[in-house]
Amino acid sequence: MDSASASGTGESAANTSPGRDTTDTEYARCDMVERQLRKRDIRSQRVLEAMASVPRHLFVRPELAAEAYADSPLPIGGGQTISQPYMVAAMAEALALEGNEKVLEVGAGSGYQAAVLSLLAREVIAVESLAILADSARARLARMGYVNVRVEFGDGSEGWPADAPYDAILVTAGAPSIPPPLIEQLSEGGRLVIPVGPPAQQDLVRVVKRNGHALQETLFACRFVPLLGKFGWPPGAGAAEPSRG
């Protein structure tokens, strides 16, 4: 669910295939990494390699495959969109993953962000509040062979207690405040990255849990769809650019 305050070229891939990877889509993905990520200060080589690996065009509707590598969100159904590539990379980088972590993602959407995280962590549990998106993301990720990702249907504002604690938690929706259950489900030394603020604009916040306390820092301004649920906004809260992973 992302839409960040980031500008870019808006260029898209030509002749992309909706069902497989091709020379054109590989080129478009490499171009996306260079123009939209590396040149905009995404420094983690692991994140850049993950973004260059995941075939983004397979996470969008076939008729939008040619726009998959553009510098913008794209609709995925249910009134939601796949995240802007830069935001996917920036949030993944902010988690500082080393490869052995168990990660919770709140807001699975298309499954794209979870696929990227799966290449950076040991295990990913993605919670999605829209059943239609949860079902499609689960099937897509399984079909594509992302075996260390599990998609669950539920209220992500409450986290996913069954598999807690988590080494890292990523929330792809804007919250009015940091949901207490997410802090509770974060392991010692764990990182939580979440947009916090009013529906029109939020700050992307990183929280590190040390000695049971939540140490908070603001990374940059962003705009996300509202986080709904028990610890989120009430239904009907609006945002300019609804999007999901």
Residues 26-57: pLDDT tens digits? 999 999 999 999 999 999 999 999 999 999 99
Catalytically annotated residue among 44, 72, 83, 118: 83
User: Residue 165: CB partners within 8 Å, gap ≥ 6?
Assistant: 185, 186, 187, 190
pLDDT digit string (tens) for 122-173? Answer: 999 999 999 999 999 999 999 999 999 999 999 999 999 999 999 999 999 9
Dihedral angle at the C-alpha atoms of 24, 50, 4, 170, nearest 10 degrees? Answer: 150
Q: Is 83 a catalytic residue?
A: yes
CB-based contacts of 17: which residues, under 8 Å, 6+ apart? 24, 25, 57, 65
pLDDT in the model for residue 6: 41
* pTM for the full predicted model: 0.89
Q: Which two three-digit tokens encode residue 153? A: 């249907």
Query: What domains, with CATH codes, occur in the chain?
Result: 23-222 (3.40.50.150)
**Closest by Cα among 41, 108, 68 to 245:** 108
Structure confidence by residue, pLDDT tens digits, 103-117: 999 999 999 999 999
